[in-house]
Amino acid sequence: MLNVRLEELPMPTTDRSIDRLVGWFVESFCFVRRKGDATADYGAASPIHRMLRDHFFSHPKMSWDAQALSDELAMTPAALNHHLSRLSQSGLLSYTNEGKGWRTYVLRGGGLSQALELCFAQYRLILEQKMNELERDWNREGLTLENEIAEDSPLPLNLSIIDYRSTQEGASDLTQWMADFGLLGDRPGNEILGNSVSEQLFQYLLDSAAPISLDDAHEQFGGQKARLGRILERFRACGLVERIPRTDRLASALWSAMITQHQRRGEDWLLKKGGFMRLVPEQSHSNLLQPLNKGNLTIEHVQNAMQKVTASDQMLLLNLLGGRLPLGYRLIGNTISESKQNMVARLDRLLRRIRRVGTMIEEVMTTGDEQ
């Protein structure tokens, strides 16, 4: 059964040695658990790194007997089987049983580029099927926030692509889908059980058009904010969810910040350092300052004064006033079709990077020219 986890990494730049390229390849496929910062040798001593570099990548048309690999790599059969299983489940390797008790493994298609193209076709198809399955639970209607500001820095993509498997005991259809997509992490534990916090949060996103802030999630679902934050950030990393400023609450945030700074620093500070003279139309100064001085400024006053101020300038004003706009999480796309289109585009970008590095590996293996 195809089962792979992919992580979007920056492309190798200055160092394009074979160990750097293979190390990047291994990390992109999440074949090894990352342990902090990259090591100086790019993990070249790890068994799976050596297996790919010295066997399957350097001799792509050869088949390799598991017993011979075990001897050459000085690995126990159990350890070797673990790594070969990961490579086979990713779709890179195929194997045959020749009646000797040991499997024989080969790089699919007889070359790295060919193997990757075969894998990519499967990955795209499974992703599209998974997104089609999500349509049954998609109940949200698209909503554009007033003065909406798009997410400026999406997280690097990190998702699982797993072929269909039956629902585990205790899991719901939705939590099984979430686990197969990577939304529950590497080790789902109790989060795969029906009605888990992860399922409740994701179901809310499927039903709601408005973004949900961390404070809102804490109030609605309970639990520690740090845990809820980790769950929502994991949803972001899988590419389905975005985190955007709650611009629908921009007026109330400005209102609160103006009152606070007026009480602390006064009218003159608001004009000169608080951004009023720079960002607020002059004709609106009195509409804000008079009620501030009287102590009866309302959110409606702020909304009227900000009508001709762009969303980005309102955000800058809020920043100068020392205010903070809450961030909200929501599913990407107004419809399931838009969400699917986004996911396919994100996956294609990741696969293009892997394809490019695969080509570099083949070039180095063929020419021996390491830059």
Per-residue pLDDT of the chain (371 residues; tens, 9 = 90+): 899 999 999 998 877 899 999 999 999 999 987 654 445 577 888 899 999 999 999 999 999 988 889 989 988 989 999 999 999 999 999 998 865 667 899 999 999 999 999 999 999 999 999 999 999 999 987 667 766 777 878 899 999 999 998 988 999 999 999 999 999 988 888 889 988 999 999 999 999 888 999 999 999 998 899 999 999 999 999 999 999 888 888 999 999 999 999 999 999 999 999 999 999 999 999 999 999 999 999 999 999 999 989 888 998 999 999 998 889 999 999 899 999 999 999 999 999 999 999 999 999 998 876 66
Cα(98)–Cα(108) distance, integer angstroms: 17
Q: What is the pLDDT of residues 76-92, one digit of tens each?
A: 989 999 999 999 999 99
- DSSP string over 280-342: S-GGGHHHHHHHHHHT---HHHHHHHTTTS-HHHHHHHHHHTT--PPEEEEESSSSHHHHHHH
Looking at residue 147, what is its pLDDT? 64
Q: Is 251:299 a contact under the CB 8 Å cutoff?
A: yes
Q: Report helix, strand or coil for 357.
A: helix
Q: Which of 87, 45, 89 is nearest to 66 (CA)?
A: 87
Handedness of CA 166, 172, 173, 179 (dihedral sign): negative
Q: How many helices (H) and strands (E) does the chain have?
A: 16, 8
Q: Report helix, strand or coil for 276.
A: helix
Q: What is the pLDDT of residues 327-355, one digit of tens each?
A: 999 999 989 999 999 999 999 999 999 99
| C-beta neighbour count of 51 within 10 angstroms | 25
| C-beta neighbour count of 55 within 10 angstroms | 18
Give every CB contact of residue 348 below 8 A, 6+ residues apart in sequence.
124
Cα(143)–Cα(219) distance, integer angstroms: 22
Q: Report helix, strand or coil for 162.
A: strand
What domains are there in the chain, each with its CATH number?
3-116+354-367 (1.10.10.10), 139-244+330-334 (no CATH), 248-320 (no CATH)
For 112, the enclosing helix (H) or strand (E) is: helix 112-134
Q: Is 332:256 a contact under the CB 8 Å cutoff?
A: no
Give every CB contact of residue 285 below 8 A, 6+ residues apart in sequence.
271, 276
Long-range contacts of 27-33 (CB under 8 A, 24+ apart): 28/350, 28/353, 28/354, 28/357, 29/4, 29/5, 29/90, 29/92, 30/4, 30/5, 30/6, 31/83, 31/86, 31/87, 31/90
Q: Report helix, strand or coil for 106.
A: strand
Phi-psi region of 107 (alpha: psi -120 to 50; beta: other; left: phi over 0): beta
DSSP state, 371? Answer: -
Q: Which of 166, 122, 176, 124 is nearest to 2 (CA)?
A: 122
Q: Is 131:238 a contact under the CB 8 Å cutoff?
A: no
Q: What is the pLDDT of residues 234-251, one digit of tens each?
A: 999 999 999 988 888 899
Q: Is 243:228 a contact under the CB 8 Å cutoff?
A: no
Looking at residue 37, what is its pLDDT? 43
Q: Is 239:338 a contact under the CB 8 Å cutoff?
A: no
Phi, psi (deg, nearest 5) at residue 99: 80, 10
Q: Is 299:257 a contact under the CB 8 Å cutoff?
A: no
Q: What is the pLDDT of residues 106-150, one digit of tens each?
A: 999 999 999 999 999 999 999 999 999 999 999 987 667 766 777
> Rg of the chain over CA atoms, in angstroms?
27
**Percentage helix, strand, coil for the chain under 3-state DSSP, each rounded to 5:** 55, 10, 35
Residue with tokens 């089609």: 132
Q: Which of 340, 316, 172 is nearest to 254 (CA)?
A: 316
